[in-house]
Amino acid sequence: MSGLVIFGTRPEAIKLAPMVANIRGAQPAIDIGVVCTGQHAEIMTQTLNALDLVVDENLNLMQRDQTPMEVVERTIVSLTERYASERPDWVLVQGDTATAFAGALFGYLGESTVIHLEAGLRTHDIHEPWPEEGFRQEIARLAGLHLAPYPCARENLLNEGIEPDSIQVIGNSGLDSQDGMLAQIADDDTAWLPNGDFVLVTLHRRENLGERLEATCRELISTLDAYPDLQILWPVHPNPKVRSTAFEFFGDRKDRVMLSEPLDYPKFLHAQRAAKFVVSDSGGVQEEAASLGTRVAIVREKTERPDAVDLGLTRIVGADATGLVDAVNDFMATPVDPVSVAKWRALQGNGNAGAAAATALLNKIEADQAVRQRA
């Protein structure tokens, strides 16, 4: 049985790496190819090196100012030219990117079993986040095995009529990567961080660019005004629209705002752990920071990770951050509850999700093989 693992962005690599390591270590050995579409070329190499994730082929499809439509088109064409004749038995994709959607469609049309890691996350609004919510809903229609990170993701899939036997709750493999990485790096490698209390900022969602991002920058300035000892560390996403806004608002605030290039994954984990709190519109950062005991102001209208909100570890402040100052006042006044952090880690599988995901995949392909042999 041969399989293809298809990914294109940094968060996909982080979440696939523990599962791929377990599949590659399986006995008897499985024939797999790991393919990177290169959707995030600039920030991928550092992540792959940090994770020890060996890629068999990089399709190098990235182009400047690419749209999701162009990524989907180029990925389908390239995968078809390169891999359709190999007819993989299964195709594994992760999450909700253009690459994941195109990879799932390629697998479905080629009659491979589509396996979806991080299945079932939903805001139930196809415009928030855009286009990720649409992509993940569509991947669910095509997948034969849904690997859900938390029980609420399973509920979402059941509510959409997905066959219960095709869903397994395996935890969040991002937590495996995070724990593995933190175990390898020195705790005292922090000289590069701002001195004193700081807020870690990451903002990049497409639907938040423009006016919403500018409004968020104004709320960040209000936060700095309200807390004169607080600084900001903002590793700025490579998207030119994010860069121009970040530098327009904070380029001359070097006294209190450190705008940096995207950080490599180990450094970014350090920064999340050391930060007073995080301000972000990211999906993965909501999970990671909360697992590290740092609260997150979510700069969005909706989140697909409601458990962390219910545990008091994350809080939605709106896509234009109108709720930021209230959230900051609370974050500054009250300590993080360690019981909530432990509950959040337990919900995500306590660092064993990669092994559970690989076992679920191996069981599925064995079952598929038995069906093919009987046919």
SS3 157: helix
Q: Is 285 a binder of ligand UDP (CB under 6 A)? A: yes
Pairing of strands 57-58, 90-94: unpaired
- Which residue is catalytic, options 89, 96, 128, 288? 96
In the chain, where does DSSP find H-type helix? Answer: 10-24, 41-51, 68-83, 98-109, 132-142, 151-159, 173-184, 211-226, 240-250, 265-274, 284-291, 306-310, 324-333, 338-347, 353-374
Is the separation of the CB atoms in 271 and 200 below 8 Å? yes
Q: At what angle do helices 41-51 and 173-184 cross, to 10 degrees?
A: 70
CB of 139 to ligand UDP, least distance (A): 14
Q: Annotate each residue in 155-194 with x if it binds ligand UDP (CB under 6 A) or - if it does not, as one string.
A: -------------------x--------------------
Q: Is 374 a known active-site residue?
A: no
- Which CB sits closer to ligand UDP, 3 or 38? 38
- Which residue is catalytic, options 24, 82, 206, 243? 206
Query: CA 273 to CA 290: how far, in whole Å?
Result: 9
Which residue from 137, 168, 282, 294 is in contact with ligand UDP, where contact means CB under 6 A?
A: 282
Rg of the chain's alpha carbons, rounded to an integer?
20
CB of 286 to ligand UDP, least distance (A): 8
Q: Is 284 a binder of ligand UDP (CB under 6 A)? A: yes
Q: Is 132 a known active-site residue?
A: yes
Which residue from 3, 103, 149, 283 is in contact with ligand UDP, where contact means CB under 6 A?
A: 283
Is the separation of the CB atoms in 288 and 299 below 8 Å? no
Q: Is 206 a known active-site residue?
A: yes
* Binding footprint of ligand UDP on the chain (CB under 6 A): 10-11, 14, 174, 202, 204, 235, 262-263, 265, 268, 282-285, 288
Positions marked catalytic: 96, 118, 132, 204, 206, 237
